[in-house]
Amino acid sequence: MDLRYGMNPQQSADATPVRPGRWPVRVVHGRPSYINMLDALNGWQLVREASRCLGRPAAASFKHVSPAGAAVAGPVDEVTAQLHGVDRAETGALTSAYLRARDADPKSSYGDFAAVSHPVDEELAELLAQVVCDGIIAPGYAPGTVGRLGRKKNGRFLVLEADPAFVPPERETRELFGLRLSQQRDEVPCAETLLENVVCGALPTTAAEDLLLGLVVLRHTQSNSVCYLRDGATLGIGAGQQSRVDCTRLAGAKAGTWWLRRHPAVRALAFGPGVRRQDRINWQLRFIEGDLTADERARLSAALAQPVPEFTAGSRAEWTARLKGVSFVSDGALPFRDNVDHAQRHGVDYIAEPGGSIRSTEIEDACREHGISLVRTGLRLFHH
């Protein structure tokens, strides 16, 4: 298969099945690039595993080979429903999963590659037609949905179909700078048995499900990586950082922003009828960040139908303190307690990490100090 181009337009690229004639995916519409295929293959593996693990439809929003957000089917809250103009009570399971995945980091999900665990229905196709998304991978498509999606982006929207029966080879191989690297595929299931070693605290069913989803997400996220989750959806993902605490702070900031988007002052931003959805999202985020330049203040005022509401530091802090019941998962051992200290600022009550650090006792002490339940999985999930 000839690809549109490689990682950059100046690079030619193609794709060949490891086993001749046995393709894990097929192109239904469009012409993918090298990165499109990486996003699609990573995204499909994530949602397939998440759905099997939790028994619900799953979705992911991928950008640059890591998920911006991931979720299983569940209730769509008022903020997400209002943003996308959907009826919370009428939203189907698969559409709810994608809406919740995309809402984790709507700025990063702009121009994403979507992945869903179940065949695309008319409802999801209609939603995808209205958001800025570059393509989707799914195990099937309802009649008429491919045609609807194929008209996006002047006919350049990518539609890929995954083979749910495809079994990958036991070993994975990549070539880099004239060297062929090979390793056994990581097939350890993300199952409840990984959560049996509860070092301190208690682990309710809802938290266990969030931790399992987090393990699946990080298995397909560029390391170092951590994620914050609640109610079957990611709130913030930190990926590809050299320092784990930087991942923790980055993902925590995203989780904090997700929560602040629910603050009454942010919801009170009344935009004019001509302001597009993504512009509304971007203005909400800049309003939350609070460091608007003089030019931005003028442009925000012009975009609003009413004056900007007051949003004080005290209001932010009081609202932030309300966030509770958040789960936190790390793909590698937490090396220092600062990860725990930062995580608890964002409502974290449950942590899952492999353990094995020389400072594991300090991690446990920090969790006990903050009243956080700690689970040691014994499983590292690096992904590069």
Q: Are residues 46 and 110 in the same domain?
A: yes
Whether 101 is covered by a domain: the verdict is yes
- Across the range 133-140, mean pLDDT stands at 97
Same-domain check for residues 93 and 140: yes
Q: What is the pLDDT of residue 3?
A: 95
How far apart (Å, rounded) are the C-alpha atoms in residues 258 and 252?
10
Domain edge (last residue) among 286, 303, 319: 319
Q: Which of 361, 366, 19, 353 is nearest to 197 (CA)?
A: 353
Residue 85 is assigned to a structural domain of this protein: yes
200, 364 Cβ separation under 8 angstroms: yes
Residues 6+ apart with CB under 8 A from 138: 115, 116, 117, 118, 119, 120, 160, 161, 162
Please list the active-site residues. 63-64, 224, 384
Which residue reads 């993918």 in tokens? 32
The answer on 292 and 214 residing in a single domain is: no
274 shares its domain with 371? no
Domain harbouring 81, CATH code: 3.40.140.20
**Cα(188)–Cα(116) distance, integer angstroms:** 22
Give the residue numbers spanning the domain of 365.
190-258+323-376
Contacts of 327 (CB under 8 A, 6+ apart): 207, 210, 211, 214, 228, 229, 230, 348, 349, 350, 351, 352
- What is the DSSP track for 42-72? HHHHHHHHHHHHHSS-EEEEEETTEEEEEEE
* Whether pLDDT at 153 is above 90: no
Residue 307, pLDDT > 90, answer no
Q: What is the pLDDT of residues 325-350, one digit of tens each?
A: 999 999 999 999 999 999 999 999 99
Q: What is the pLDDT of residue 308?
A: 83
Q: pLDDT digit string (tens) for 82-117?
A: 999 999 999 999 999 999 999 999 999 999 999 999
pLDDT digits (tens, 9 = 90+) for 189-238: 999 999 999 999 999 999 999 999 999 999 999 999 999 999 999 999 99
Is the CB of residue 199 less than 8 Å from the CB of residue 367?
Answer: yes
Residue 155 scores a pLDDT above 90: no
The per-residue pLDDT of the chain, averaged, comes to 95
116 with 134, same domain: the answer is yes
The answer to pTM > 0.85 is yes
pLDDT-derived band at 24 (thresholds 50, 70, 90) equals: very high
Model confidence at 304: pLDDT above 90: yes
Q: How far apart are alpha carbons 335 and 94 in whole angstroms?
A: 37
**pLDDT at residue 79, as a whole number:** 95
Are 271 and 228 members of one domain? no
What is the mean pLDDT of the segment spanning 286-306?
91
Query: pLDDT tens for residues 246-288?
Result: 999 999 999 999 999 999 999 999 999 889 999 999 999 999 9
Number of domains in the chain: 3
Per-residue model confidence as pLDDT tens digits over 56-74: 999 999 999 999 999 999 9
Residues 213 and 94 in one domain: no
Contact call for residues 365 and 316 (beta carbons, < 8 A): no
Domain check: are 300 and 340 in the same one? no
Read off the pLDDT of residues 310-326 as tens digits, 9 standing for 90 and up: 888 899 999 999 999 99
Q: Count of H helices and E strands in the chain? A: 13, 14
pLDDT grade, residue 78 (50/70/90)? very high
Is 305 a member of any domain? yes
Residues 82, 151 within the same domain: yes
Percent above pLDDT 70 for the chain = 100
Dmax (CA) of the chain: 63
